[in-house]
Amino acid sequence: MPIKVYRPTSAGRRNSSVLDYSHLTKKRPEKGLTERLPRTAGRNAHGHITSRFRGGGARKLYRVIDFKRNKFDVPGKVAALEYDPNRNADIALVHYADGEKRYILAPRDLKIGATVMSGDRVEPDAGNSMPLSNIPLGLFVHNVELKPGRGGQIARSAGSQCQLQARDGDYAVLVLPSGETRRVHVRCRATIGQVGNLDFQNVRWGKAGRMRHRGRRPHNRGTSMNPVAHPMGGGEGRTGGGRNPCSPWGKPAKGGRTRSRKAASSQYIIRGRKRGKHTQAR
C-alpha cells in the first residue's frame, strides 16, 4: 500500500502523510458483524485509570474478527477488503459456502475472489489456517494461538509474521516478530502468510490532533510534574529527575523486570527478545 503526501498547505500537513486506501473495495462494514463497545478512556470497572493518556477520539464501531478460524473444511471466498479503525491491519470479508460471513485479518497480497479455508490439512496458501503440526517448516505465519482453541494472540498487527523453525515432540519452535524464540503446542492453529498493510509503520502523523482522533491524549513527562504527582517531579527549572527513570509508582521504566516470575508462559521461552539474552526453559 503506497504512502500519499499532500501539498504542504499548513505546518501540520507539511510533516504528515497518509495511507492510500485505493486497494480497499468496501467502505461500509457488514452490519451483522459490528458491535458498539463502551468507551472506557483507560478506566477499569471501578473508574480508576489503569492505562494512562487514553480518551476521546473519533466514534467507531467494533468489527468482530474471527481469530479462532474454527470454520473447518468450508471454503470461503474473499468478498471485500476493508479498513478497520480498531487496528492497524486491514480486514477481509469472507463469504463461506454455507452462507455465513466472517471477518479475518487480511494477509499480504490477498486478492478479491481468492479462496481461503481452515482445516487440519489444507493447502499452505496465504489466508489458510491449520495446526502448527501440519504447517511446512520455514513458512511465515500470523494470528498464532498460545493455547489450542483460544484464538490467535500472536502476530496480529500490520506487517507482523512468525517463522516456524522446528518441531520437537508436542511443541513447535517459533521466532516471533520481537526476535523472541518460543515453544508453542503443535495443536495451536496459525494462519499462513504475513499480515498486510506493511506501510502503516511509515506513516508520519504530522500533528498532535491526528493522535487525538485516535484516542491518544498528551503524554506528560515525569520531570514536568510536581513532586506530589511523580517521583521525578519538582525542582527549580528543568532537571534530570534526580534518579533513574521510573513510573509514578516508583517502578523502573528502563531495564526493570516487568514479567511475573509466576507467569505460566515464561517456561516456553527459549531465547528472550533482548539481544544476547538467553532464557532457559524450566
Mean pLDDT of the chain: 91
- Under the banding of pLDDT at 50, 70 and 90, the label for residue 255 is confident
Which amino acid does the sequence have at 247? S
Sorting pLDDT into bands at 50, 70 and 90, what band is 276? Answer: very low
Q: Summarize pLDDT for 204-237 with one digit per residue, the tens.
A: 999 999 999 999 999 999 999 999 999 999 999 9
Q: Is 258 left (phi over 0), alpha (psi -120 to 50) or beta?
A: alpha
113-134 average pLDDT score: 92
What topology is assigned to 23-200+260-271 in CATH? OB fold (Dihydrolipoamide Acetyltransferase, E2P) (2.40.50)
The amino acid at residue 160 is: S
